[in-house]
Every structure is written in C-alpha cells, then in structure tokens.
Amino acid sequence: MLSLPKKLDLKTPPVSPERKKELQLFEKHAGIRFRKADFLNLAFCHRSYTNENPDIHDNNEKLEFLGDSVLGIVVSDYLFRLLTDKTEGDLARIKSFVVSEDSLEIIAKALRVDNFILIGKGEEYSGGRSKKAILADAMEAVIGAYYLDSGFKSSKHFILRLMIPEIQKVLEDRHKKDYKTLLQEYVQKRYKTYPRYHLVKKTGPDHNRTFWIEVEFEGKKYGPGKGKNKKDAEQMAAGIAYETVNKNKKREIPD
C-alpha cells in the first residue's frame, strides 16, 4: 500500500523581517492567517525570480497546480449543491467562467496580489507584475499554499468567500464574456464556417507591444481589437463582431 510522505520537500525562499511585514499586510487584505509564512512567500515566487537564484528555492508552479485542483473541487461541490436543476454541461460551463483567468485576475487585483509577487528583473521590466496570467497563477498558488498550511476546511471557506460573488455574476449574466467562443459558435451554426483572425499591425517596443487584430467571416471584417497580447486583441475583435451581428439580428426582427 502506498503511503503519503510525512514531510513536504519544498525549498521555500527565506522570509526577512521586512518581507514578513509585507506578507502580514496581504493576510490582512485577504482575511486569512498563515501558520507558516514561508508557504505564502513561495506562493508569490514567480519562475523568473527563481531563475535568478536557481539554487536557493523553488517557484510557485507546484503550488499553482495544487491550488487549481482545490479551487476546482470547492467550486464544483458548491455548484452541484446549489444548482440542482442544471445539467452537467450547464455546471461545467458556469464553472469554466467562475475559475477562469479573468475571474482570478479580478480577485488577485482586489487583494493587491501584484504588490507582493516576487519576479525577475526582466519580467518586472516587461510589466509582468500586472500580467493577467501571472496574477491568476499567483492566486491559485496562494490557494494551494493555504490548503497546505491550514487544511481543506479553512481553504474552502476562503475560496467560497472569494468565489460566491463571481458565481453570482455568472448566474446574473454580469461576467466577462468569452467572445471568441460565442462568436465561433454563432458563425459555425449560422454559416457553417469559422471566423478567421488577422494581425493588422503591432506597435510599441518589444517589452511593451500592442497588437491590433481583425476578425473576418462571410466576407466582412470587424475590429480591429487591440491588446497587449494577441489573445486579448482577438477577444476584443470577437466582442466587436459578436455585438455587431447581434444588433443587426435584432433590427431584422419586425415589431
């Protein structure tokens, strides 16, 4: 029979007195208390920071992996018990919005996670502290660290306090939409084809690019959308297209 290891093999970064005060400030924002400050400190440690000190400590990626799973089971359990009339497909769709990168970024910003992340100089220079993926990953890592530190019951309470407002947004249709998926479903159903995205231009220096992208289907172009990466620019272009075709569709309906 397999047995769980008794000791966690995590190389956590040292916590100086100054850093401990910073972490306590985050705990105050988040309304939680860690028994081991080094767990929380590791949750904020981005890969780029570790790469500059490879022999000293780990990064937060394993905590992110764990936090993603804990977050998933807590939200799934809550939705399963709350929405008893929904199908599996409905629950999966709602969950995908609730635990999305967009939702986690909103929560991370509310908790001021960007002030506490440890990142490398190059990543700092390129605006990494405010990147959506880095903020969302750090938030999942914090959840994973809190689970290790304080157990499932405490982490569940913490997650639900953060996530129930996001669940309400989805149920009331106030959440940020995945316009690329919505547009693809619409175009595929109506025209039996797929929207195509084209890069129009990119501006700015390498460390601070802005991308401009159009989306095209049925001989018409929409946009351009713009963003700091191609994914965000495509989402904006898809949003422009989706809102436009829906306005046109409403005009076609007679009074």
Helix segments in the chain, DSSP class H:
17-30, 37-43, 47-52, 61-82, 88-98, 101-110, 121-125, 132-150, 152-171, 179-191, 230-252
In a domain, 10, yes or no: no
Q: Are residues 57 and 165 in the same domain?
A: yes
pLDDT tops 90 at residue 126: no
Catalytic residue among 64, 105, 137, 140: 140
Give the C-alpha separation, 41 to 117, whole Å: 9
pLDDT tops 90 at residue 149: yes
Mark whether 234 is an active-site residue: no
Summarize the confidence of residues 118-127 as an average pLDDT: 89
Q: What are the CA-CA distances from residue 232 to residues 101, 171, 228, 238, 240 (Å)? A: 12, 24, 7, 10, 13
pLDDT tens per residue, range 203-249:
998 878 899 999 999 999 999 999 988 988 998 999 899 889 887 66
Q: Are residues 157 and 59 in the same domain?
A: yes
pLDDT tens per residue, range 12-51:
888 999 999 999 999 999 999 999 999 999 999 999 998 8
Mark whether 140 is an active-site residue: yes
In a domain, 118, yes or no: yes
Query: Which CATH number characterizes residue 140's domain?
Result: 1.10.1520.10
Q: Are residues 219 and 134 in the same domain?
A: no
Catalytic residue among 22, 27, 68, 101: 68
In a domain, 5, yes or no: no
pLDDT tops 90 at residue 151: yes
Query: Which CATH number characterizes residue 236's domain?
Result: 3.30.160.20
Domain boundary among the residues 142, 171, 200 is at: 171
Quick check: bond before 165 cis, omega within 30?
no
pLDDT tops 90 at residue 8: no
In a domain, 1, yes or no: no
Question: Containing domain of residue 202, as a range?
Answer: 179-252
Specify the pTM.
0.74
* Number of domain units in the chain: 2
In a domain, 7, yes or no: no
Q: Are residues 209 and 242 in the same domain?
A: yes
pLDDT tens per residue, range 74-108:
999 999 999 999 999 889 888 988 998 889 999 99
pLDDT tops 60 at residue 250: no
Confidence class for position 3, pLDDT limits 50, 70, 90: low
Domain boundary among the residues 104, 139, 171 is at: 171
The per-residue pLDDT for 116 is: 96
The per-residue pLDDT for 176 is: 66
